[in-house]
Amino acid sequence: MISHLTFIAMNAYMLVVLIKNNLDEIQFVAVMRLITLIIGAMFVALIIFLTMHANKWSGRVISLIDPDWAKENMPLVASVSEHSPSMWVNYWQDMSVMLLFVPLGFYYTLVHKLTHGKLFIAMYGVFCVYFSCAMIRLMLVLAPAVCVLAGIGVSHVTSSALKAIRLAFTGYSAPDESKASDLKGWKAKANKKNKQRMPFEVSVILLLFIFSILKTYVFHQMDLAHSYSSPSFIMEWGNVKDGNRVIIDDFREAYYWLKQNTKKEAKILAWWDYGYQLAGMSNRTVIVDNNTWNNTHIATVGKILASDEKEGYEMAKSLDADYVMVVFGGKAHYEGDDLAKFLWFVRIANSAFPGMDE
């Protein structure tokens, strides 16, 4: 949305420049007043439209504007871990020490010789910070902004430190006295620059500090890339005492078992988290999958899993399900099993079938 608004704003700016170049000052002021009134009226109309047609917007979009909306009105959206608000640990895990340089980047873009380009980068960073706070999956949108802002901060600091080191070795060479028209003025200027210059020792320590931080960042991101590149249905424990990794392959084995031991036309009932994996790896029809547009359908499955055996069995048969798959992580120490998600079954079922009290 912000990218579209930016595109519109850039074109509006060029239109204003075009009008200003082709009209005198009085006409330009009159036209700008008219345009301002039109834009204000359109903005008010847009707010009214959004208020009256809020139910036509997707839950994800509304959650960006009002992060608490999904928790009260759309538990299915709130149940997705990617839609939860970000915590400080998420920022530190993903961005690591780059966060230390982001405030410097904001300083050099907004305070130090402001330009249109720097203002654009600062706005980009501010919007991305807000959206990443509202939804953890938008840390992906924040990452490029952090890289740009931190890069600007590191660049300015290292440039100042390197310049101080260079000047400490080379110094300020005095001009030729026969050609210098004002030797006294030159000396005053040189002394002023020397006073503004960063001390040599501070420059060296600062460069070593930045180098160590950037080295730490590189190794941290290598480990992070390894953890993020692992598939979600095959997990591993850390290295055990003999140096070997322990691979938890239960999901893939369960999907393979279903593929080998059930009929091709069999229908599997499971929570929607496993829908695409079941359909893709077992080649079986699933009752619900990760396409979460149909809230009532998912709520029905949630009610089946949250009901007693007799009622749940009858509802599962009414959906023409042949098998029910539930995930228990006790043996493998897997914390994200269906027991951990159980309250979300109840909350989502309650959104379509009121009366299910968690």
pLDDT in tens, 1-47: 777 888 888 898 898 889 889 888 888 889 889 988 998 898 888 87
User: Is position 20 within any domain?
Assistant: no
* 310 and 211 belong to one structural domain: no
337 token code pair: 């099993």
pLDDT on residue 37: 92
User: Is position 8 within any domain?
Assistant: no
* 212 and 92 belong to one structural domain: yes
Look-up of token digits 């009622």: 311
C-alpha–C-alpha distance, residues 46 and 42, integer Å: 6
* 211 and 323 belong to one structural domain: no
Amino acid at 69: W
User: Is position 22 within any domain?
Assistant: no
Q: State the pairing for strand pair 267-269/246-248.
A: unpaired
Share of the chain above pLDDT 90, in %: 34
User: Is position 256 within any domain?
Assistant: yes
Position 355 pLDDT exceeds 70: yes
User: Is position 278 within any domain?
Assistant: yes
DSSP characters over 261-282:
HS-TT-EEE--GGGHHHIIIII
Provide the H-helix boundaries in 229-336. Answer: 250-261, 275-277, 295-306, 309-318
CB 268 within 8 A of CB 323: yes
CB 259 within 8 A of CB 285: no
pLDDT on residue 281: 93
| Most confidently predicted of 57-66, 187-196, 201-210, 330-339 | 201-210
C-alpha–C-alpha distance, residues 304 and 346, integer Å: 10
Confidence of residue 55 (pLDDT cuts 50, 70, 90): low
Domain residue limits at 175: 87-229
Look-up of token digits 């005492």: 241
pLDDT on residue 194: 56
Considering only 42-51, 194-203, 291-300, 303-312, which range has the smallest mean pLDDT?
194-203
pLDDT on residue 226: 79
* 224 and 91 belong to one structural domain: yes
Per-residue DSSP letter, 237:
E
* 222 and 300 belong to one structural domain: no
185 token code pair: 């003025």
Confidence of residue 268 (pLDDT cuts 50, 70, 90): very high
Q: Which of 229, 259, 287 is the last residue of a domain?
A: 229
Between the alpha carbon of residue 219 and those of residues 144, 222, 224, 245, the distances in Å are 19, 5, 9, 20
pLDDT on residue 285: 94
Position 286 pLDDT exceeds 60: yes
* 108 and 184 belong to one structural domain: yes
Q: What is the largest CA-CA distance in the chain?
A: 106
Among 259, 260, 269, residue whose Cα is nearest residue 314: 269
pTM attached to this predicted model: 0.66
What is the enclosing helix (H) or strand (E) of 248? strand 246-248
* 91 and 212 belong to one structural domain: yes
* 259 and 167 belong to one structural domain: no
User: Is position 12 within any domain?
Assistant: no
Share of the chain above pLDDT 70, in %: 85
pLDDT on residue 164: 86
pLDDT on residue 56: 63
Considering only 69-83, 189-203, 270-284, which range has the smallest mean pLDDT?
189-203
User: Is position 310 within any domain?
Assistant: yes
* 258 and 206 belong to one structural domain: no
User: How many distinct structural domains can be found in the chain?
Assistant: 2
Confidence of residue 345 (pLDDT cuts 50, 70, 90): very high
Look-up of token digits 């100042």: 160
CB 105 within 8 A of CB 117: no
User: Is position 28 within any domain?
Assistant: no
* 134 and 186 belong to one structural domain: yes
CB 118 within 8 A of CB 163: no
C-alpha–C-alpha distance, residues 161 and 203, integer Å: 5
Q: Which of 229, 259, 276 is the last residue of a domain?
A: 229
CB 251 within 8 A of CB 233: yes
Mean pLDDT computed over 153-167: 89
Provide the H-helix boundaries in 88-233. Answer: 88-95, 102-110, 116-134, 139-170, 183-196, 200-228
* 218 and 109 belong to one structural domain: yes
317 token code pair: 């048969």
Position 221 pLDDT exceeds 80: yes
Position 135 pLDDT exceeds 60: yes
Q: Which of 200, 229, 258 is the last residue of a domain?
A: 229
* 217 and 321 belong to one structural domain: no
Please report, for the domain that includes residue 271, its CATH number. 3.40.50.12610
